[in-house]
Amino acid sequence: MPLKNIQPTKRLVATAVSGALLGMAGGVQAQISGSVALTSEYVWRGSSQTREDPAIQAGFKYARESGLYASVWGSNVKFKPDNGAGSEFDFAAGWSGKIAADWALDVYLLRYQYPSADTDLNWNKINAGLTWRDNYWLAVGHSNNAMATDTTGTYALLGARYPINDQWRVEGSMARYVLDDDYADSYAHGSVGVVWMFKAPFEARLTLHGTDSAAKRLFPGMAGSRAEFAIQASF
């Protein structure tokens, strides 16, 4: 997702929907889920991570009944200018679960890894997400090495989804990335999308992304307005 002063989610962006498979591990119920996606481009926080080329993405998650979990997610990447990075792997470990009837909390440590990069682009981030009634959420992330720049960054996002019926829903988000002035200006981005669950376990997603001028200065040619189309499956 990130990269120093050149091209860095996400995100966010072609995120695949997880399915669930129940099993037993040492007498404790566990859940293994996974997802795969083919997307027109990998967009992270309003910025293309593949120079507007398609991406193949996959993820796996192992969760215990206690709420503790570990996951890995991967995608091809192609930054601008080229720095040798061809793939990204995101490793996470955390806890998620209900904290009240309508509220759920997710807290985790995330590691971004770029194994083939010419320079060290790897970095860590701690994240927390609060969800209300499964349809509204607030996510916050912080790093002392944001986008592998040795500077701090704090990210906040508000999101919502609205189910139209059993097959269709719309989603939207607004976010702000507060960056250290020594690195770059803070920037904002937003998205709105429509999701069609046309045949289980498959769904199609069309998302429109937009960023402000600060993002365009930070990621020239890779930020701004763009449309992303993805087909996803869960297992």
Q: How far is CA 140 from CA 70, 124, 177, in A?
A: 19, 14, 10
Residue 1 lies in a domain: no
Residue 3 lies in a domain: no
**What is the DSSP secondary structure assignment for residue 215, as one 8-state letter?**
H
| Cα–Cα distance, 186 to 148 (Å, whole number) | 16
Query: Which amino acid is it at 129?
Result: G
How many domains in the chain?
A: 1
Residue 96 lies in a domain: yes
Query: Phi/psi of residue 181, each to 5°?
Result: -60, -25
Q: What angle do CA 39, 47, 84 make, to 5 degrees?
A: 80
pLDDT tens, residue order, the chain (235 aa) = 433 333 333 333 333 333 333 343 445 689 999 999 999 999 999 999 999 999 999 999 999 999 999 999 999 999 988 999 999 999 999 999 999 999 999 999 999 999 999 999 999 999 999 999 999 999 999 999 999 999 999 999 999 999 999 999 999 999 999 999 999 999 999 999 999 999 999 999 999 999 999 999 999 999 999 999 999 999 9
In CATH, what number is assigned to the domain containing residue 83? Answer: 2.40.160.40
Enclosing domain of residue 174: 21-234
Rounded to two decimals, what is the model's pTM?
0.87
Evaluate whether 41 touches 54 at the Cβ level (below 8 Å): yes
Residue 13 lies in a domain: no
Residue 159 lies in a domain: yes
Residue 187 lies in a domain: yes
Residue 7 lies in a domain: no
